[in-house]
Amino acid sequence: MSERTLSVDLGRGLRLRTPVLVASGTFAYGFDAPLIDRARLGAIVTKGTTLRARDGNPPTRIAETPSGMLNAIGLQNPGVAVVRREYAPRWAQWDLPVIVNVAGDRVDDYVEVARRLDGVPGVAGLELNISCPNVAAGLQFGLDARLAAEVTGAVRRATALHLMVKLTPNVTNLAAIASAIADAGADSLSAVNTFVGMAIDVRRRRPVLANVTGGLSGPAIRPLALRAVWEVAATVRIPVIGIGGIASASDALEFLLAGAAAVQLGTVNYVNPRAVAEVVEGIEQYAADHGFADLSAFPLRPSVVPSHA
Amino acid sequence: MSERTLSVDLGRGLRLRTPVLVASGTFAYGFDAPLIDRARLGAIVTKGTTLRARDGNPPTRIAETPSGMLNAIGLQNPGVAVVRREYAPRWAQWDLPVIVNVAGDRVDDYVEVARRLDGVPGVAGLELNISCPNVAAGLQFGLDARLAAEVTGAVRRATALHLMVKLTPNVTNLAAIASAIADAGADSLSAVNTFVGMAIDVRRRRPVLANVTGGLSGPAIRPLALRAVWEVAATVRIPVIGIGGIASASDALEFLLAGAAAVQLGTVNYVNPRAVAEVVEGIEQYAADHGFADLSAFPLRPSVVPSHA
Amino acid sequence: MSTAVLAQATVLAHTRPMEGGEELVLAHPEGARRARPGQFFQIGVDAKGTLLRRPYSIAAIDPGRGRLSFLFSVVGQGSAWLSGLSNGQAVDLIGPLGNGFVIDGGTSPVCVAGGLGVAVFPPLVDALVRAGRPPIVLQGARTGSRLLPDDRFAGASVQVATDDGSRGWRGSVVSLLRTVAAPSQEWFVCGPTPMLRAVIRLAGSVGVSLDRIQVALETPMGCGMGTCLGCVVPAAAGGYLLTCQEGPCLRADQVAWDRITDAFHE
Amino acid sequence: MSTAVLAQATVLAHTRPMEGGEELVLAHPEGARRARPGQFFQIGVDAKGTLLRRPYSIAAIDPGRGRLSFLFSVVGQGSAWLSGLSNGQAVDLIGPLGNGFVIDGGTSPVCVAGGLGVAVFPPLVDALVRAGRPPIVLQGARTGSRLLPDDRFAGASVQVATDDGSRGWRGSVVSLLRTVAAPSQEWFVCGPTPMLRAVIRLAGSVGVSLDRIQVALETPMGCGMGTCLGCVVPAAAGGYLLTCQEGPCLRADQVAWDRITDAFHE
Ligand SMILES: Cc1cc2nc3c(=O)[nH]c(=O)nc-3n(C[C@H](O)[C@H](O)[C@H](O)COP(=O)(O)OP(=O)(O)OC[C@H]3O[C@@H](n4cnc5c(N)ncnc54)[C@H](O)[C@@H]3O)c2cc1C
Ligand SMILES: Cc1cc2nc3c(=O)[nH]c(=O)nc-3n(C[C@H](O)[C@H](O)[C@H](O)COP(=O)(O)OP(=O)(O)OC[C@H]3O[C@@H](n4cnc5c(N)ncnc54)[C@H](O)[C@@H]3O)c2cc1C
Ligand SMILES: Cc1cc2nc3c(=O)[nH]c(=O)nc-3n(C[C@H](O)[C@H](O)[C@H](O)COP(=O)(O)O)c2cc1C
Ligand SMILES: Cc1cc2nc3c(=O)[nH]c(=O)nc-3n(C[C@H](O)[C@H](O)[C@H](O)COP(=O)(O)O)c2cc1C
Ligand code: FES
Ligand code: FES
C-alpha cells in the first residue's frame, strides 16, 4: 500500500499524510519528545495556548489511576505572542502541519488568539479547546450548545484557518452540542477531551491534585471516548477526529471504524514513543488485509461525511 | 474497635452494620456468590427488577476494557412477582438487609413495582434505577432533573420503604439532578451507575456488544465516580452511597473521605470474593489508626448530612 | 457451583504438549477432589490492563496426587501471563465451577474435539473408561503437531483428523464423525461454534437425537458464578441460559442453535 | 534530554544491598555511555492497572562494561513489578533524561543523602573523585542495616547517621551535616522534602549560599520528557520549573522553597 492511501483531507486546506495526530498537551509545542517518529505523523496539535502567558496550576498536577491518569496542568503556556514570534517560524520549516490548540476565558480571548494566528506561516489550523476541565473558565463553552456555537461562530469570523473544535464528553447530550458547533462553521470536530475526575490521598487526607479535580485520560476512557465518537460521527457532516485512550493500532482502528476521519494520540506518547509508528503501520496493514483503497472504506456505517480525499 | 463503630443509619429505618454493600447486578438476588463473606456486609442490593419478567439483551453482553468492563445485560430478571413470592420470604430469614433495585420504562412501572414490594417482609429498601444505560427506556429519568424528581416523588408516595435513588453520571449537571431528587423525597442517593461506552471488534468489523453500547464499570471509572460523589455529597443533605470501581480498602476510603456515608462494591465481586471483607477490615483499621469513633469523622469536608447514627 | 473454593495453587509443571498448546499442572488437592469432567475454574491473571478472571476447563484431574491441569493457547494478555508462569509460582483460582458432563447416560459414547476444545476431554474419557464405557475419541486440528497426544486418552479408541492430512483423516473432525456416527451413540462435543453447528446438523442427518448430545460451551464470562448474567446462550425454551451456571456442559436440545451468536469464532 | 534513547535492557543482577533497598544491574551499553550523574531513566513497568513509566535515578554507571544500575524500594505496584524481575529478563528504558549534577563548580564537595535518595550518589562521587575532588559523603537512614554500604563510595570520606544510633552519628543526616558544614563547601543533596528543607535552613545558618547547593528533586512524572508539564516545582523566579527537564538536579536558589509542596513525603 502506498502512503497516499492513508492521507486525509480535513477540509479548508488541512491535508494530512496520515490520520494519526498527537493530541494537545502531550507533545508541548513539538520541540521535545525526540523519540517519536515524525515521518509517520499526520499533524501535531500544540499545548493549549492563551492570549497571555499562564503559569498553570500549583503541583501536584498529575496522578495515576487504573489504566489512566488525572491531570490538572491548568494551561501553563507562554501565550500567543511567543507562539507566533518564536515557534511558528520554526514550524514553517517543517514538513508537518502544526495545529494550535486555543483556549480562553471569554469569547473575546478565543477570537483574539485566533486573529493573531491567522495567516501566520507555520500555523496549519486551530483546535478550539472549549473543553479544558482544569481552569476556572473555558469549559463552560463546551457544556452548552448555544455557548459552543457562539464561540465557534466568533472564531470562524476571525480566521481563514482550518477550525477544529474539541468537544468535552462531560455532557448529557453530546450530539446536540456537536451539531450546533458544526452549524456554527467548524471545519472538523475532535472528540474527546478528558473526563472530570478526582483522586484522594487517604493517608494525607486531602485531594491528590492541588486543583482538587482533574481530567482523566488514557486507556481507561477509551470505551467512553469511542462511544462519543460513534455518536458524533453519526450526527454531523464534518470530519470527526477521535481521541481518548488510544494505545495501539487496534484501538485506533476502533475509532476509524466508529466513523472517525483521523485520530489523536495523547497519553500513550508519554509511555510508548513507538506508538505513533505502530498505529500508522497497523492502519496500513488493516487496509491491506481488507483490500481498502483509502480511509473512506473503514467506517462500519456509511459515512455521512462527504469524502475530501 | 467495636463493630458498632462502622454502623450507619441511612434513614427511614435502614440501618447497616457496616458501610459496605454489594452493588446491583453483581450479586444477583443474593443466593449465589457463596464465597463472599456475608458477615461483614452492610446490605445486598439486588439485580434490577421490573414489573414483568425480562429476558434481557442478546449476547454478546459483556466486554473487558482496560481496567474496566462494559455490560449490556438489559435487565434480565424474573419480574417483581417472583421476587415477592419466592425471594423475599428467604431474605426475611437473613440477618442482612436486602434492597431491591427497581427499574422500569414509565413512571407507572416504577410505582407499581414499589407498591408490590411495600411492606413485604424481607425487603429492606428500594434502590430506584433511573440510570440503566442498557435498555431502551429508563435512563431518560436520570438525565433530566424534572423527570428524575417526578419518578422519585411518585415512588415516594407509593412506599414507606427506604428510598435510595441511583444516579447516572452521564449528565452535564449532576448536582442539579441530585438536588431535585432529594427534594422529591429520596432518603438517600447512590452514585454512580455505569458510564455509557462501547467497543468495536475490528477483526469482525462490528460492535462487540449486541446492544452496540454498554455501561462501563470497574477501576477505570473510579476517579470519575469519586468526583461525582464529591460533588453530590457537597450538594445534598441526605446520605450518599458511593459506587464505582472500588476494589480495595483504600479505594473505599477515598469515597468515604469524599463524603459518602457508605459504599457499594460491584465489579470487584466478580474478581475478588475477598473484597468485601478486605474493605471492611481496611475501614476499621483506618478508623483505629486515626482514632475515629465512627464514620462521621471520615469526610474531608464537614458533612452537610445530619448524623443518623 | 456451590462446591467452588477460592485457593492459591502452586505451579508444579508448565509444559507444551502440542504446538499452540501449553499446559499448567497445579497443586490443588481440594480442587482436584471436587472437580468433575467438564467443569472449569476462574483463574486470576495479573496482567497489565486486565480486570476479569479467565475461565479455563479442567484438562486433568488427579485427586490422588492433589493435582489439576489446564491446557491453553496464548490469544491475549491473560493467556500470555499464564504462559509466563514457572514452577513454584502461585495462581489464584476459583472453582470448580459450572455443570460438568452427565456421564450416567446411554451407551456408545463418542467424544468430538475441535482445536483447544480438546482440553475438556481427558477427565471425561477417564471417567467414562472407569465407568466401563470406553469412548471413541475424535480429535481434529489444523495439522498433526497441534493434536493433543493420544496417550492422554488411555483406554479410549482415538482417531484424529487434520485439515492438511498430516495425521489421520484429512478434513474436519465433523467429517470424520460422519464416518463413525450411529443413531445409538451419545456424543460429547467441544470446539469452535461453527464446528458445534456442523455437529448439530450432522446429528439430524444421521439420526442422533439432540438430547443425546452434550456440548461444552464457551462464552465471554464476567463472574463465572451466576451473578453478572453476562455469559448467556439462547435457550431452546426461550430466553437464555447461563453458560457458567447452567453450563458450560449443556444438552444440545437445551440450546437455540438458530439464535446462537459466534462471540469468538467465525 | 536530547541524549535519551529507547532500549530494551537485560537484567544482569538483582541484589539487595541493604534492608529496604534492591538493586537492578542492567546491560545497556549506549545508556551507560550517555548517562551522567544525577540523571534518571523512565522505566516501563508491566504491572496490573498501571499506565505510566516509573522514574529512577541512575545508581551506578559503568560505561566500560556497558552497565547501569538502579536502586529502589518497593512502595507500590510498579516497584513491586521491578522487584519480581530476574536475570535475563528485559526491561524497557527511556533515558538518560534530565539534567544531572554540575560538577565543574567550587571546591570541598559534600554529598548529603537521606534514605533512598542515596541512589543518585555513587555515580556523582565517582565523577568527583575522578575530577580530583573527593567529597565528604554523609548518608542518613533509620537504622544501620538500611544504609548503602560505604564501599559504594570509593575514594570519598564517608560518615553515616542513623535515627536509632545503630551506626555512626545518632540523629538525622542534617544534624550530622551541621557538624561538618563550612561556608566554603559545595553541597549535593538528595532525600525527602522535609530533609531538603532542613538542609536549606541549615545553609542559611552556616553561611553556605544557595547557589552552591544542588538538589536532586523527585516529583510525580507523567512523561519525563518535558511534554506533559506535570512535574513542576515552584521557581524562585516565579512560575514553575520542570523537574524532568530543567531538573531533576537544580541549584537550590532556583527553587521557591516556601512554595514547594510535599507531593510524596510528610
Ligand atoms: C467455560 C470456558 C472454558 C474454557 N476453557 C479453555 C481451555 O481449556 N483452554 C483455552 O485455551 N481456552 C479456554 N477458554 C477460553 C479462554 O477463557 C480465553 O481464551 C481466555 O479468556 C482469553 O484470555 P486472554 O486475556 O488471553 O485473551 P483476551 O485478550 O481476553 O482475548 C483475546 C482474543 O481471544 C478471544 N477470546 C476471548 N475469550 C475467548 C474464548 N472463550 N474462546 C475463544 N476466543 C476467545 C477474544 O475475543 C480476543 O479476540 C474457555 C472459556 C470458557 C468460557
Ligand atoms: C527523578 C526521580 C528519580 C527517582 N529515583 C528513585 C530511585 O532511585 N529509587 C527509588 O526507589 N525511587 C526513586 N524515585 C521514586 C520512584 O519513581 C517512585 O517510588 C516510583 O515511581 C513508585 O512507583 P510504584 O508504582 O511502585 O508506586 P506507586 O503505586 O506509584 O506509589 C506508591 C506510593 O509511593 C508514593 N510515591 C510515588 N512516587 C514517589 C516518589 N517519587 N517519591 C516518594 N514516594 C513516591 C505514592 O505517592 C504512593 O503513596 C524517583 C523519582 C523521580 C521523580
Ligand atoms: C497532561 C495533559 C495535558 C493536556 N493538555 C491539553 C490542552 O492543553 N488542551 C487540550 O485541548 N487538551 C489537553 N489534553 C487532553 C488531550 O489532548 C486528550 O484530549 C486527552 O488526554 C484524551 O486522550 P488520551 O487518552 O489519548 O490522552 C491534555 C491531556 C493531558 C494528559
Ligand atoms: C454486569 C453488571 C450488571 C449491572 N446491573 C445493574 C442493575 O441491574 N441495576 C443497577 O442499578 N446497576 C447495575 N449495574 C451497575 C452497578 O450496580 C454499579 O453501579 C456499577 O457497576 C459501578 O460500580 P463498579 O465499578 O463497582 O462495578 C450493573 C453492573 C454490572 C457490571
Ligand atoms: S459469567 Fe457471570 S453469570 Fe455467567
Ligand atoms: S514529567 Fe512530563 S513534563 Fe516533566
Q: Is the pTM of this model over 0.90?
A: yes
- Give whole-number Cα distances, B169 to B139, B190, B224, C50, C192, in Å: 11, 11, 8, 24, 39
- Is B28 an interface residue toward C (CB < 8 Å)? yes
Q: How confident is the model at residue B305 (pLDDT cuts 50, 70, 90)?
A: very low
DSSP state, residue B83 = I
Pocket of ligand 1 contains residue C76 by CB under 6 Å: yes
Any catalytic annotation for residue A132?
Answer: yes
In angstroms, rounded to a whole number, what is the distance separating the alpha carbons of residues C79 and C236? 33
Give all chains having 3 or more CB-to-CB distances under 8 Å with chain B: A, C
CB–CB contact A218 D228 (8 Å): no
In angstroms, rounded to a whole number, what is the distance separating the alpha carbons of residues B61 and B48? 16
Q: Is A183 helix (H, G, I), strand (E, B) or coil?
A: helix
Atom index in ligand 3 nearest the CA of residue A69 equals: 31
Task: Give A261→chain D minimum CA distance, Å.
Answer: 26
Say yes or no to pLDDT of B104 above 90: yes
Q: Does the CA dihedral A273-A276-A277-A278 come out positive or negative? A: positive
Nearest CA, atom 19, ligand 3: A193
In angstroms, rounded to a whole number, what is the distance separating the alpha carbons of residues C257 and B176? 48
Give the pLDDT confidence score for residue B280 in this predicted structure.
97
Task: Give C18→chain B minimum CA distance, Å.
Answer: 27
Give the pLDDT confidence score for residue B68 in this predicted structure.
98
Say yes or no to pLDDT of B165 above 60: yes
Q: How confident is the model at residue A1 (pLDDT cuts 50, 70, 90)?
A: very low
What type of residue sits at position D208? V
pLDDT in tens, C68-96: 999 999 999 999 999 999 999 999 999 99
pLDDT in tens, C46-58: 999 999 999 999 9
Q: For an interface test with B, which of A130, A134, A224 has the most B Cβ atoms less than 10 Å from its Cβ?
A: A224
Say yes or no to pLDDT of C263 above 70: no
Residues of chain D with pLDDT > 90, as a percent, come to 93
Q: How confident is the model at residue A307 (pLDDT cuts 50, 70, 90)?
A: very low
Atom index in ligand 4 nearest the CA of residue B265 equals: 26
Q: How far is CA B223 from the centre of its chain?
A: 17
| Residue B304: cis peptide before it, omega within 30 degrees of 0 | no
- Give whole-number Cα distances, A36 to A31, A294, D73, in Å: 11, 25, 31
Give the pLDDT confidence score for residue C26 in this predicted structure.
98
- Is C86 an interface residue toward D (CB < 8 Å)? no
Give the pLDDT confidence score for residue D266 in this predicted structure.
39
| Region B215-222 average pLDDT | 98
Give the pLDDT confidence score for residue B258 in this predicted structure.
98
| Global ipTM | 0.96
Q: How confident is the model at residue A23 (pLDDT cuts 50, 70, 90)?
A: very high
- Give whole-number Cα distances, C35 to A57, A67, B136, C40, in Å: 58, 35, 41, 8
pLDDT in tens, C173-225: 999 999 999 998 999 999 999 999 999 999 999 999 999 999 999 999 999 99
- Give whole-number Cα distances, B287 to B256, B295, B298, D59, in Å: 11, 8, 8, 39
Task: Give B36→chain C minimum CA distance, Å.
Answer: 10
Q: How confident is the model at residue A34 (pLDDT cuts 50, 70, 90)?
A: confident
Give the strands of the sheet with C249-251, arranged side by side: C169-170, C157-162, C136-141, C109-114, C186-190, C213-216, C249-251
Q: Phi/psi zone of residue C106: left (φ > 0), alpha (ψ -120 to 50 degrees), beta?
A: beta
Atom index in ligand 2 nearest the CA of residue D78 equals: 25
Residue B232 phi, psi dihedral angles, 5° rounding = -70, -40
CB–CB contact B253 A202 (8 Å): yes
- The Å distance, Cα B2 to ligand 5 centre, comes to 36
Closest to A240 in 3D by CA, of A224, A258, A253, A266: A258
Give the pLDDT confidence score for residue C265 in this predicted structure.
43
Question: Which residues of A fall within a CB distance of 8 Å from B205?
Answer: 257, 300
Nearest CA, atom 32, ligand 1: C76
Identify whether the C-beta of residue C38 lies closer than 8 Å to the C-beta of residue C57. yes
| Region D197-205 average pLDDT | 95
Atom index in ligand 5 nearest the CA of residue C226 equals: 3
Give the pLDDT confidence score for residue C266 in this predicted structure.
39
Return all residues near B255 (Cβ < 8 A) that are at least 6 apart.
Answer: B225, B226, B229, B242, B246, B263
Angle at B11 between CA B9 and CA B14, to 5 degrees: 65
Give the pLDDT confidence score for residue A86 in this predicted structure.
97
Q: How confident is the model at residue C122 (pLDDT cuts 50, 70, 90)?
A: very high
- The Å distance, Cα D17 to ligand 5 centre, comes to 48
Question: Which residues of D fall within a CB distance of 8 Å from A210?
Answer: 261
Q: How confident is the model at residue D233 (pLDDT cuts 50, 70, 90)?
A: very high
Say yes or no to pLDDT of A133 above 90: no
pLDDT in tens, A221-244: 999 999 999 999 999 999 999 999
CB–CB contact B66 A200 (8 Å): no
Q: Is B29 helix (H, G, I), strand (E, B) or coil?
A: coil
Nearest CA, atom 20, ligand 1: C54
In angstroms, rounded to a whole number, what is the distance separating the alpha carbons of residues C178 and C175? 5
Give the pLDDT confidence score for residue D262 in this predicted structure.
65
* Average confidence score pLDDT of chain D: 94
In angstroms, rounded to a whole number, what is the distance separating the alpha carbons of residues A37 and A42? 11
Task: Give D224→chain A minimum CA distance, Å.
Answer: 8
**DSSP secondary structure, B90-146, as one string:** HHTTSSS-EEEEE--SSHHHHHHHHHHHTT-TT--EEEEE---TTSSSSTHHHH-HH
Give the pLDDT confidence score for residue D265 in this predicted structure.
43
Question: Which residues of C fall within a CB distance of 8 Å from D49?
Answer: 48-49
Record the cell numbers describing residue C37, joined without a space.
469432567
- The Å distance, Cα B284 to ligand 2 centre, comes to 28
Say yes or no to pLDDT of C262 above 90: no
Identify whether the C-beta of residue D52 lies closer than 8 Å to the C-beta of residue D79. no
Give the pLDDT confidence score for residue B103 in this predicted structure.
95
Residue B83, CA atoms < 13 Å, CB-side half-sphere:
32
Which of A280-289, C102-111, D229-238 is least confident? C102-111
| Region A80-93 average pLDDT | 97
**Strand pairing category for A98-102 and A43-45:** parallel
Which of B225-239, B252-266, B295-309, D181-195 is least confident? B295-309
| Region B57-75 average pLDDT | 96
- The Å distance, Cα D37 to ligand 5 centre, comes to 54
- Give whole-number Cα distances, D190 to D118, D207, D218, in Å: 7, 20, 9
Residues of B noted as catalytic: 132
Give the pLDDT confidence score for residue D7 in this predicted structure.
95
Closest to C177 in 3D by CA, of C165, C166, C193, C188: C188
Record the cell numbers describing residue B30, joined without a space.
443474593
